[in-house]
Structure 1
Amino acid sequence: MSSRISPLTRSNERVSQRLRMERMTVKREDEQKAGGVAAVERAFAILHAFKAGDTSLNLSELAQRTGMYKSTILRTMTSLIREHCIVRLDDGTYQLGSMLLHWGGLYQAALRLDDHVPAILRRLVQETGEGASFFTREDNLRVCLFRVDSPKSVRDHIRTGDLLPLDKGAAGRVLSSFDRTLIRNAEFPNYPLIVTVGEREPDIGAVAAPVFGPMGSLRGALAVSGPAARFSAELIPAMSQSVLKAASDLTRRLGGDPFVFDAALSPTTASA
């Protein structure tokens, strides 16, 4: 008498086999991540799956964006929901939770420009060879809050605390062009970089980019400047890439979204 296996039994065996394979995969990940760290990595992967413009994501979208099994996501979600990092809505989708806002507030309260800007400026000087500055707006002028001079003997001379025009020079134009409290969305620039040569002073060139904080707020302008002869059409593209990368890095450190720099961080041709 031959034995027959029912379709339900086969289905259960397939499910059991898939779960065993998944457990083995998770175990290998845990071993590779030195035990326990893999679970944290999976939690971060879920949080990173949320992008600008997402109100909520369903389980299938999370699985697609993270490359994780749905069952793994659900297990990780238990901890994220318990700690208010994720909220499960009534329609079954998931949303970022209030704990992230709480952490963001703590970060902003502890944030000091002194901890981040000087290091970025020093890196810019090393990469470009020109002086690097960070400006903020003060009424109808711009003030230099931080400055690192060029190591070259011939250079422009800007000091911390200097007040300069807002309507002339790359940094001034950045501060007047990228402030969402002053500029309508339809007029907001698409390219986060401004180059000027001989505008503020006949022999000075500059490349500047905005630095954003939370909610797209303009925190300041990052700029390199020096003798106009060193701001040629051949040198400006590489200089612009350095400024864009620095502005993106500083924006991220100050709690802003650096997505506006993503498209710009590709080889470009700038003109004076």
Structure 2
Amino acid sequence: MLRGSETERESGAKPDKGGGVAAVERAFAILNAFRVSDTSLTLNEIALRTGMYKSTILRLIATLVQEHCMVRLDDGSYQLGSMLLHWGGLYQAALRLDDHVPPILRRLVQETEEGASFFTREGNLRVCLFRVDSPRSIRDHIRTGDLLPLDRGAAGRVLASFDRTYTPPESFPANPCIVTVGEREPDIAAIAAPVFGPLDSLRGALAVSGPAARFSNDLLPSLRQAVLRAAADLTRRLGGDATRLEHERVGSLTTV
């Protein structure tokens, strides 16, 4: 028989010391166990990745399946469920970016022949909300929904350079357009610029990325201008002031 404190831990009915609800945190741990390359996971794999008892996992999975967050396959393994896609659609719809970002990314890919992405900040990470791949066979592989570091990569550094609500003119970085080479992945380079909405609120970062060999010093100025043009255009479409981005087209470039 479990002692009282153990019963509380298993039930998850009470908040933990961090202010969250233990059962909810464990349910999210199960969902977060899935990786990009996973089509499904067995109970044993979920237990290994989460460090939880199988009995606990099964109880939580029963609710996740009931709410369409997970699906149990005929072979006994589990997949993520359709509710996650539904939530993703609601998230994107709430941001009201669908009508504006994809056309800008497609145009940017046509101009640069490199992959183009739009990122927003999620705590200490950045999430790729929209992605258009390069037409070239050798390219940077990023998918919509990918969570990437905020402290590595051009888009992450751009997002970390601004306050999400308002950046006063005196705090605006001297070089908002940033280039990184081999920082997130070896032999991958990226160039990114901020995108603003009303009242100078930061809406995200627009970036192109690809093999570092194609981001030579000779090509960087034209790539930079293409990214800044796209960021300025998207800023105007989202109700922001693109003046500073247009001014930066003749400015210097920060390379990391």
TM range (shorter): 0.5 to 0.7
Once the two structures are superposed, the pairs formed by residues 164-243 of structure 1 within 5 Å of their partners are: 164-179=148-163, 181=165, 186-243=170-227
Aligned residue for 1:161? 145
The equivalent residue for 1:147 is 131
The answer to whether the Cα contact below 8 Å between 1:203 and 1:228 also exists between their aligned partners in 2 is yes
Unaligned residue ranges in structure 1 (runs of 5+): 1-108
Q: Distance in 2 between matches of 1:169 and 1:110?
A: 26
CA RMSD of aligned residues (A): 2.3
Give aligned-pair identity as a percent: 73
> How far apart, in 1, do the equivalents of 2:130 and 2:95 lie?
16
SS where residue 115 of structure 1 aligns? coil
Aligned length: 164
How far is 1:192 from its partner?
Answer: 2.5
Aligned mates of 2:187, 2:95 — CA distance in 1: 37
Q: Distance in 2 between matches of 1:123 and 1:163?
A: 24
What corresponds to 1:32 in structure 2?
none
* Counterpart amino acid of residue 243 in structure 1: V
Name the counterpart of 1:259: 243
Q: TM-score, normalised by structure 1?
A: 0.56
Counterpart CA distance in 2 for 1:243 and 1:270 is 14
Alpha-carbon contact 1:127-1:242 (below 8 Å) kept: yes
SS in structure 2 of the partner of residue 154 of structure 1: coil
- Does structure 1 conserve the Cα–Cα contact (< 8 Å) formed by 2:164 and 2:203? no
Secondary structure in structure 1 of the residue aligned to 2:250: coil
**Distance 1:134-1:110 versus aligned 2 partners, 3 A rule:** closer
Larger Rg: 1
TM-score (norm 2): 0.60
Q: Secondary structure at the match of 2:110?
A: helix
- After TM superposition, the structure 1 = structure 2 runs for residues 1-272 of structure 1, keeping only pairs within 5 Å, are 112-179=96-163, 181=165, 186-266=170-250, 271=255
Can you list the C-alpha shifts for 1:166-219, whole angstroms capped at 9, x where unaligned? 000000001100225587764430332111111111211000000000110000
| Distance in 2, Cα, partners of 1:267 & 1:128 | 20
8 Å contact kept, 1:111–1:254: no
Cα distance between partner residues in 2 of 1:183 and 1:162: 26
User: What is the rounded CA distance, in whole Å, between the counterparts of 2:194 and 2:168 in structure 1?
Assistant: 16
Q: Distance in 2 between matches of 1:136 and 1:249?
A: 17
Task: Please tell me whether the aligned partners of residues 190 and 208 of structure 2 are also in contact (alpha carbons under 8 angstroms).
Answer: yes
**What amino acid does structure 2 have at the position aligned with 1:228?**
A
Contact 2:191–2:224 (CA<8 Å) still a contact in 1?
A: yes
Offset of residue 265 of structure 1: 2.2
Asked whether the 8 Å contact 2:197–2:240 carries over to 1, the reply is yes
Whose helix proportion is higher, 1 or 2? 1
* Partner SS, residue 148 of structure 2: strand
Distance 1:214 1:267 in 2: 24
The aligned amino acid for 1:232 is S
Q: Secondary structure at the match of 1:215?
A: helix
Q: Which consecutive residues of structure 2, in runs of 5 or more, have no partner in the other structure?
A: 1-92
